Structure 1
Amino acid sequence: MTSISQYPDLILANGRIYTVDGADSWAEAVAIRGGRIVAVGDSAEIEALKGPDTEITDLGGRMAMPGFVDIHNHILMAGQSALYELQFPPSSTIDEICGHVRARAEKAEPGQWIIGNQWGADKMAELNSEASLARLDAAGLGHPVLLRDETMHNRWVNSEAMRLSGISDNQPDPPQGAFFRDPSTGRLTGILVESASGIAELAASNAFSPDMARAAVKRAVEIGNSLGVTAFQDAATALPILETLSDLDRAGELTAWAVASLPLIQPTFLFGTTGDALLAVRDRHRTTHVRPDFTKIFLDGVPGARTAAFHDAYLDDPAHPHGYRGDLLVDLPEMVRMVDKSERLGMGLKVHCAGDRAVTQMLDAVEAVRHFRGPTTVRHHIAHASYIRPEDIRRFAELGVVADLCPMIWYPTTFLEGHKAVMGEERATRFWPIAELQKSGALLAGGSDWPVIPVPDPWHGIEGMVTRQNPSGAFPGVSLWPEQAIDLATAIRIYTLNSATAMGIDSITGSIEPGKSADIIVLDRNVFEIAPDQIADTLITTTYFEGRVVHQG
Structure 2
Amino acid sequence: MERCLHSLNVFSIASTAVPCSVEPNSPPKAFGPTPHKDRWSTNVGLRVRQAALIVLAIALSACGGGGSGENSNATKADVIYKNGAIYTVNGSQEWAESVAILKDKIVYVGNSSGSAAFESTNTKIIDLKGKMVLPGFIDGHNHAYLMAESLFWLNLTPFTSVESRQAALRDYLAKDRGIKQLRGVGWDEAESDAKAKGVLPKNLVDQAVSDIPVVIIDNSHHNFLVNSKALQMAGIDRNTPNPPGGTIERDPVTGEPNGILREFAAQNLVINALPQPDFTIEQYKATLRAWQKVAAKDGITSTFVPIHYPTESLLAAFKAMDADGELTVRFDLALWADENKGISQIPHLKSLRDKYQGENYKVDSVKIFSDGLGAPVLVWDQKVLEQTVAALDKEKFRIYTHAIGSPDFYPSNNVLNALEFAAKENGKRDSRHAITHIDWVKEEDVGRFKDLSVLAVPQPAWFGKPWYNDVTGEKTKNKNRLQGFMKAGVTVVSSSDFPSTDTFERDMYPLTGLEVGMTRLDPDKAKATDIDSAKEPWERATLQQMITSYTINGAYLIFDEQNRGSIEVGKKADLVVLDKNLFKLAPTDIGEAKVLSTIFGGKEVFRDPTFDSAVDAK
Query: TM-score w.r.t. structure 1 length?
Result: 0.85
- Give 1:354-433 correspondences, 5 Å limit: 354-355=404-405, 356-406=409-459, 408-413=461-466, 415-416=467-468, 427=475, 430-433=478-481
- In terms of mean alpha carbon deviation, does 390-399 or 166-175 score higher? 166-175
Residue 463 (1) aligns with residue 515 (2): yes
Q: Which residue of 2 aligns with 1:329?
A: 380
2:296 is aligned with 1:244: no
Offset of residue 344 of structure 1: 3.0
Aligned pair count reads 521
Q: Which residue is equivalent to 1:284?
A: 355
After superposing the two structures, state which structure 1 stretch, 88-97 or 216-225, moved more.
88-97
Match of 1:546 in 2: 601
Instruction: Report the equivalent of 1:31.
Output: 100
2:284 paired residue number: 213
1:262·1:278 contact (CA, 8 Å) conserved in 2?
Answer: yes
Question: Is 1:58 the counterpart of 2:58 in the alignment?
Answer: no
Q: For 1:267 and 1:57, how far apart are their aligned partners in 2? A: 55
Question: What is aligned with 1:317?
Answer: none
- Measured after TM superposition, the shift of residue 89 of structure 1 is 4.5
Please state how far the C-alpha of 1:165 moved relative to its aligned partner: 3.4
Q: In the alignment, what sits opposite 2:68? A: 2
TM-score (norm: length of structure 2): 0.77
Asked if 1:83 corresponds to 2:146, the answer is no
- Report the Cα offset of residue 434 of structure 1: 1.0
What's the offset of the Cα at 1:539? 2.4
Corresponding letter in the other structure for 2:543: L
1:485: which partner in 2? Answer: 540
Which deviates the most, 454-463 or 489-498? 454-463
Cα RMSD (Å): 3.1
Distance, in Å, in 2 between the alignment partners of 1:206 and 1:498 is 36
* Alignment match of 2:249 (pick from 163, 180, 184): 180
What are the within-5 Å matches in structure 2 for residues 121-160 of structure 1? Answer: 124=191, 127=194, 130-140=199-209, 144-160=213-229
Which 10-residue stretch deviates more, 475-484 or 154-163?
475-484
Distance 2:474 2:154 in 1: 35
Mapped partners of 1:144, 1:479: distance in 2? 46
Secondary structure, counterpart of 2:392 in structure 1: helix
Structure 2: how far apart are the matches of 1:446 and 1:60?
Answer: 29
Instruction: Find 2:117's aligned residue among 45, 48, 53.
Output: 48
Residue 111 (structure 1) aligned to one of 179, 194, 209: 179
CA distance in 1, matches of 2:473, 2:319: 45
Q: Secondary structure in 2 aligned to 1:296?
A: strand
Q: The residue matched to 2:224 in structure 1 has which SS? A: strand
What is the match of residue 27 of structure 2?
none
* Whole-angstrom CA distance in 1 between matches of 2:570 and 2:203: 61
* Secondary structure in 2 matching 1:446: coil
Q: Are the equivalent residues in 2 in contact too, given 1:299–1:330 (CA < 8 A)?
A: no
Sequence identity of aligned pairs in percent?
29
2:262 to 193, 196, 207: 193
Matches within 5 A, 1:428-467: 430-453=478-501, 454-455=504-505, 456-467=508-519
Unaligned stretches of 5+ residues in structure 1 = 309-325
Select between 153-162 and 104-113 the one with higher mean Cα deviation: 104-113
- Are the structure 2 counterparts of residues 138 and 176 from structure 1 closer, same or farther at C-alpha, using a change threshold of 3 Å? same
* Separation in structure 1 between the aligned mates of residue 249 and residue 449 of structure 2, nearest angstrom: 36
User: Are the aligned partners of 1:266 and 1:275 in contact in 2 as well (CA < 8 Å)?
Assistant: no
Please say if residues 294 and 349 of structure 1, whose CA atoms lie closer than 8 Å, have aligned partners that are also in contact. Answer: yes
Cα distance change of structure 1 residues 185 and 373 upon mapping to structure 2, 3 Å threshold? closer
3-state DSSP class of the match of 2:463? coil
State whether residues 517 and 546 of structure 1, in contact with CA within 8 Å, keep that contact through their aligned partners in structure 2. yes
The question of 1:265 aligning with 2:316 is answered no
Distance 1:109 1:528, change over 3 A: farther
1:509 equivalent in alignment to 2:564 = yes
- Compared with structure 1, are the counterparts of its residues 267 and 301 closer, same or farther at alpha carbon in structure 2 (3 Å cutoff)? farther
Larger Rg: 2
Deviation at 1:84, TM superposition (A): 1.5
Aligned position for 1:318: none
SS in 2 for 1:245: helix
> Given residue 369 of structure 1, which amino acid in structure 2 is its aligned partner?
A
Give 1:504 deviation, angstroms.
0.8
Please give the secondary structure, in 2, of the residue aligned with 1:449.
coil
Structure 1 residues 271-310: Cα deviation after superposition (integer angstroms, max 9, x where no partner): xx964223124233211112222222222222x2x0x4xx
